[in-house]
Structure 1
Amino acid sequence: MATIGLDRLYYAQITEDANGIESYGTPKILAKAMTAELSVELIEAILYADDGASEVVKEFKSGTLSLGIDDIGSIVAQDLTGSKIDSNNVVVSRSEDGGNPVAIGFRAKKSNGKYRYFWLYRVIFSIPTTSLATKGDSITFSNPTIEGTVFRRNKLDAESKHPWKAEVTEGDNGVAQDTITNWFTTVYEPDFTPVTPTITITTQPADVTNVTEGSISGSLSVVAETNTSYPVTYQWYENTLDSASGGTVINGETSASFDIPTTLVAGTYYYYCVLSSTGASDVTTTVATVTVS
């Protein structure tokens, strides 16, 4: 899904131990973001065998991040570019200075109102470019652009690999709200702890009573969530007993809601739904009773 906005631009300073292993400081606001462009360069190797490509390996080499911002303060300039603030609070850029590696975080708004969140784990910036223009017949805003090179970080994750980017979309299956809430509190650290897939029913189908024969309307519905990115699937059953087992499959009723059949005659009917998801144990709702009079 396309993104339509950009905000919450943060950076976190990096300190390295003797082996170059990164530790991240508390994220700070960099500036108000206007644009962000990220391009990636890959290393590619192709193994040929029997007159054809047998294996293709592509690995991340580096990337380029270009940020259009409203302004860059003196402290931020010093932290990102290695420039120096003198005793008169003047930012001095020297030829020998070099940018210090930082982590960069931001979010982009999607067209559905949700946000996609990012952390780039190791970015080294150059001196911001500035465009100036004299005032003419119209007003032109001139804003700085700062460009950085994105590298993989030296610190290994739990699978002994080098992350360079973390990305998550708000509202996706399995994404905990705490992950979103704390995204800019600390630089996100990958967590590869095995997750046991589960399905949790948050709303059970409710009984429907006093339905009049010949003018039946209404539906049964269930609300559920899973802790993985795999979707939940549904299958509704009808039963002659007040039991959530041993029922008969209702063909074609495979969504979270089920329209009560309009052809029911006076009597009591029992329905339930079985929910499934990849890797998770099936979960069955409670029985919903439909009373037709």
Structure 2
Amino acid sequence: MATIGLDRLYYAKITEDDNGDETYDTPMPLAKAISAELSVELAEATLYADDGAAEIVKEFKSGTLTLGIDDIGVAAAGDLTGATIDDNHVLISTSEDGGAPVAIGFRAQKANGKYRYFWLYRVKFGIPATNLATKGDSITFSTPTIEGTVLRRNKLDGQGKHPWKAEVNEGDEGVTQAIINGWYSEVYEPTFAASGGSGE
């Protein structure tokens, strides 16, 4: 079903243990969302045998998340880009900046009034782009955009795989209201029933 809206943009800082496995801080609002564009790059390989394609493998490699936002506060800018806040509460960006990855959550309204919820588990952002224009005969809003690279998570899920995105539709069969209500209280952790198999 098509989506018609976008809101509730949140981020959560990541802490890694000695193995690189992520734990997430409590999610915090990032900014008011205007747009979100997610493009995905796949690693692809084709095995040829008997003069034809015998096997094709496509795996998630990375993605790009471009967010249009109303404004990014100094604290969020520091968390996402590695910029620092000086003693006068001025945000200072340096050539050595490099923000740590964060998790990004948001939701998009569907035509039926319910929402599709997302968590991207590991996104590394660059410096926000700023667009400015002088005031003319008409009012033009200049809003920042911020672009991040979406990566897979280091921590394995219950199937021994590296997730990069969690997505759920409100109202789908089997989706409890508790999942929807708690979507922004913590970054969603995949849950799989224990089994002796490989999960395939």
TM-score by length of 1: 0.66
- Which residue matches 2:176? 176
Mapped pair 1:189 → 2:177: no
- Which residue matches 2:80? 80
- Which residue matches 2:64? 64
Mapped pair 1:132 → 2:132: yes
- Which residue matches 1:48? 48
Distance in 2 of aligned mates of 1:173 and 1:160: 25
- Which residue matches 1:14? 14
Distance in 2 of aligned mates of 1:111 and 1:158: 33
Distance in 2 of aligned mates of 1:170 and 1:58: 29
- Which residue matches 1:109? 109
| Per-residue Cα deviation, 1:168-225 (whole angstroms, up to 9, x for no partner) | 000000101100000010000000126xxxxxxxxxxxxxxxxxxxxxxxxxxxxxxx
- Which residue matches 2:156? 156
* C-alpha displacement of 1:97: 1.1
Distance in 1 of aligned mates of 2:158 and 2:72: 36
* C-alpha displacement of 1:12: 0.2
SS in 1 for 2:6: strand
* C-alpha displacement of 1:52: 0.1
Larger Rg: 1
**Count of residues in correspondence between the two structures:** 195
- Which residue matches 2:197? none
Distance in 1 of aligned mates of 2:162 and 2:132: 40
- Which residue matches 1:33? 33
TM-score by length of 2: 0.96
Distance in 1 of aligned mates of 2:55 and 2:125: 35
| Per-residue Cα deviation, 1:223-270 (whole angstroms, up to 9, x for no partner) | xxxxxxxxxxxxxxxxxxxxxxxxxxxxxxxxxxxxxxxxxxxxxxxx
Distance in 1 of aligned mates of 2:19 and 2:97: 22
- Which residue matches 2:147? 147
| Per-residue Cα deviation, 1:18-72 (whole angstroms, up to 9, x for no partner) | 2211110000000000000000000000000000000000000000000000000
Q: Which amino acid aligns with 1:182?
A: G
Gaps of 5+ in 1: 195-293
Distance in 2 of aligned mates of 1:93 and 1:15: 23
Distance in 2 of aligned mates of 1:85 and 1:20: 27
- Which residue matches 1:4? 4
- Which residue matches 1:230? none
SS in 1 for 2:4: strand
Runs of 4+ in 1 over 6 A off after TM superposition: none
SS in 2 for 1:3: coil
Q: Which amino acid aligns with 2:122?
A: R
SS in 2 for 1:56: strand
Give me the CA root mean square deviation. 1.0
User: Between the two proteins, what is the percent identity of the paired residues?
Assistant: 74
Distance in 2 of aligned mates of 1:142 and 1:102: 25
Distance in 2 of aligned mates of 1:97 and 1:23: 23
SS in 2 for 1:78: helix
Distance in 2 of aligned mates of 1:140 and 1:88: 31
SS in 1 for 2:104: strand
* C-alpha displacement of 1:99: 1.4
SS in 1 for 2:179: helix
